[in-house]
Chain A
Amino acid sequence: MISPASLTELRDAVLSAPRVIAVGAETKPRLSAVDAVKISMRQLSGITEYDPSEFTFNALAGTPVREIITALEEKGQYLPFDPLLVEAGSTIGGVVASGLSGPGRFRFGGVRDFILGVRFVDGMGRLLRLGGKVVKNAAGFDVPKFLVGSLGRFGVIGEVTFKVFPKPAATLTLSMPFEADKMARIANSRFEAAALDVLPGGETLLVKLAGPGAALEVLAREIGGEIIDNTIWDEIRETPWSYKTDITPDQISDFKAAHVSCGGSMAFSHSLPVRGMTLRGDAPLWIGGRPRFAIEAAVKQALDPQQRFPTLDD
């Protein structure tokens, strides 16, 4: 395990062995379970720039998400996509590379929708900055988005720039029996729910509302259901799920054992799903295969011609 303490050392680390892979806190260990020298990102840690008035921050990739959330909270801001396993020590680079978002993805989007820029080291050991550092930018190819979910297979992320939002004044959680129609109605309604999840077992629908407290109570009465403690979202966020599957709302009934999140777009489970990605355990990384196109190898060749990083199939 190599532990670079600066971006220059990160470059050297990438070039130091024929096969390397970055790891954050290894909260999603299956994702980095490959035969390669591990580069620990833990020392490359810290928020490098944060100006609340810009709605952006920069942080080194090994920065624990907990640290970022705390810094944002002090200024009344947050990451709306709800990163997972925060208390377990997830790093912001790990969040990007694994492409995992939590229930909050429903309202404003996932990791991919809040990442603005990256500095990363490609397979040739070049430190590159792509994307931008401002909330809006259309210059150049959107490599930052591509690295979301790239699992460290195309480059090592050294530093990231994210967009953030003001944190809503209050949140309120409703619990009610799950019915597909009801969920669709709430999703399409004027309520602008912040999250819409179905608990494992497929019986219970959770609705999270966010905004000024007085307004939420009125909305809650109209939606119905029982008001429950908001801490349920912390439990959901910190559960070390083993598998993740991307689904559509019409597939919810096929994923009864799973925790269904984001209005029926993601399923997290402990038992092997028919298809999906393994986050922990010995199952193959990709369950039930994945789409394959020739362009994948060509892009891999473009970013990592010597195959210094493993491939998505390793």
Chain B
Amino acid sequence: MSAALERLAELLPPGRLLVRPVELAAYESDALTAFRTRPLAVVMPETEEEVIAIVRLCHELKLPFVARGSGTSLSGGSLPIAEGIVIALNRLNRILKLDPVQRIAVVQPGVINTQVTTAAAPFGLHYAPDPSSQSICTIGGNVAFNSGGAHCLKYGMTSNHVLGIKAVLGTGEVVEWGGGSRERLGPDWCGLFVGNEGLFGIALEITLQLLPKAECFHTVLAGYRTLEQAGDAVSAVIASGLLPGAIEIMDALALEAAVAAVHAEYPPGCEAVLIVELEGPREVVAIERERLDAILAASTPVEMRPARDADERLAIWKGRKSAFSAVGRLSPDFIVQDGVVPRRKLGEALRRIAEMSRETRIRVANVFHAGDGNLHPLILFDGREEGALQRAEDLAGRILKMCVEMGGSITGEHGIGVEKRDFLGDMFTPDEIDCMQRLRAAFDPLGIANPGKMFPGKEAPAMSHVGLHPLEKAGIISRE
């Protein structure tokens, strides 16, 4: 055992310091399975004090560490470092406080996203950010990636719901920012910390705001002959002054997948399906639904299907949320991309993706958050074919560059991680990247917190065959 491992062994009992290859195997990659690295060791702290002691030891020994929640990152964010350790936070899984009057929850980082809503439900409250992986991903991972979901247009991302953070930084310093109040004084440190992709340190306690559950929903599924018509319908909804909770589109290939996987049923002959959902007090929804239905009826759909009850609503969402994993039925392998374009350019973006798809003969399915221009092209390939993965990655890269050219972003919610490091320079100038690196160095001068992520430069780890996340194969989670 190396000297570093001996020191770690002083902090943790043997069962919580994993060093044997068979034990480490499960931690070699996250949901971007193309990348794999075996870490030196995995540690499983159970208390905040243990996490702090481990980080301080890493600081003393200049030992790199990667924080890990459930390992569902789609960008290689929780990919281990060969010469470093993984700090698995799953055992810090307690909800420390749930205050229905202040409408807050204080949680440890290993708490699963849906557990917060489950705990808040008896008080008529919920935790708004809802990534499709919500039944498995952790609040710590959500904080590191500022994760989103289907309701971002109206409710924002994770950051908009984090009121307070206690963290141990890469320097070993323990900080506490914000707290139970929705307001704060001075610079917004929590705002800076959320979305740091594990490069600033480890979140130990997170204070989340809870919102009352919407009383009533009106969910409509509309089928269109062309993607363009579906896009025009979105524009009409936006122009109407309504603020839907969600606006989603699935294209023909994504529909085919959902039909195959969950026996979803869609209007025949449609190249696109649009889902729009209103929510609020029943009196408000009663008035707004008439306007929405009229707008959609005027948008020449092939067919319109408003959900008549809660079961029909759930069926609509089941088809939508299963779309990613469902694509696994159509292709042995696929890459989920995540880019953003200005909403008015959605039509053009989809046209160009279709052109690139034809030109490269690579099939691309599209599922996206139309309300906020967040595209999720699913690039299909067969990893057993020589060079297929590389060709798929090349296409993914072209799509990202297109997003930047159109004035959008290279990631709406999945983060930069390892996967998109080389595209950071397409979005930011060298001075801007330098500014971010200086900030990183302030939080972590030794560069031990999740090094090799976000910033371009370092040698990329070798890629291998991509497949479904093991949990997706098991049908436990699906992607969005």
Contact = CB atoms under 8 A, between A and B. Distances in A.
Given A76-B241, A149-B186, A298-B443, A187 B409 contact: no
A290 B342 contact: no
Interface string B63-76: 00000000000000
Nearest to B123: A188
A274 interface: no
B195 A105 contact: no
A36 interface: no
Contacts of A106: 182
Nearest to B184: A246
With most chain B CB atoms within 10 A of its CB, the pick from A109, A187, A248, A303 is A248
Interface residues of A, number: 83
Interface string A146-174: 11111101100000000001110100000
B374 interface: yes
B281 A184 contact: no
A144 B456 CA distance: 22
A270 interface: no
B186 A136 contact: no
A262 B287 CA distance: 27
A108 B344 CA distance: 24
Contacts of A113: 156, 160
Contacts of B34: none
B284 A54 contact: no
Interface in B125-179: 125, 145-146, 148, 152-157, 159-160, 169, 171, 173, 175-177, 179
A192 B407 CA distance: 34
A139 interface: yes
Contact of B344 (A51, A188, A245, A298): A51
B101 interface: yes
A109 B160 contact: yes
A165 B372 CA distance: 12
A142 interface: yes
B306 interface: no
B192 A143 contact: yes
Interface in B192-213: 192, 194-196, 212
Nearest to B196: A141
B42 interface: no
B171 A130 contact: no
B407 A53 contact: no
B183 A150 contact: no
Contacts of A211: 280-281, 284
Interface residues of B, number: 93
A142 B281 contact: no
B287 A140 contact: no
Contacts of B186: 99, 149-151, 277, 286, 290, 312
Contact of A140 (B124, B185, B282, B427): B427
B76 to A, nearest CB: 14
A289 B26 CA distance: 47
B41 to A, nearest CB: 28
Interface in B303-357: 340-344
Interface stretch (B7-15, B252-260, B428-436, B469-477): B428-436
Contacts of B436: 130, 140-141, 143
A166 B153 CA distance: 12
A55 B242 CA distance: 12
B267 interface: no
Contacts of B212: 187-190, 192
Nearest to A301: B442
B153 A246 contact: no
A202 interface: no
Given A101-B183, A212-B284, A247-B181, A132 B192 contact: no
Given A53-B344, A141-B195, A277-B185, A136 B284 contact: no
A24 interface: no
Contacts of B176: 291
A154 B191 CA distance: 15
B410 interface: yes
B397 interface: no
A263 B153 CA distance: 23
B435 A212 contact: no
B438 interface: yes
A150 to B, nearest CB: 4
Contacts of B160: 109, 112-113
Interface stretch (B87-95, B388-396, B412-420): B412-420
Contacts of B440: 141
Interface string A241-273: 000111111100000000000110110000000
A88 interface: no
Given A129-B432, A143-B435, A145-B188, 19 more contacts: A53-B238, A53-B343, A129-B429, A134-B341, A136-B372, A138-B157, A139-B410, A139-B411, A142-B194, A143-B192, A146-B188, A146-B191, A166-B243, A188-B212, A244-B185, A248-B102, A262-B182, A265-B181, A277-B185
9 contacts: A54-B343, A109-B160, A137-B408, A188-B125, A246-B184, A246-B185, A290-B185, A290-B186, A302-B438
In the A-B complex, the 5 residue pairs with the closest CB atoms: A145-B191, A190-B215, A215-B283, A298-B442, A265-B182
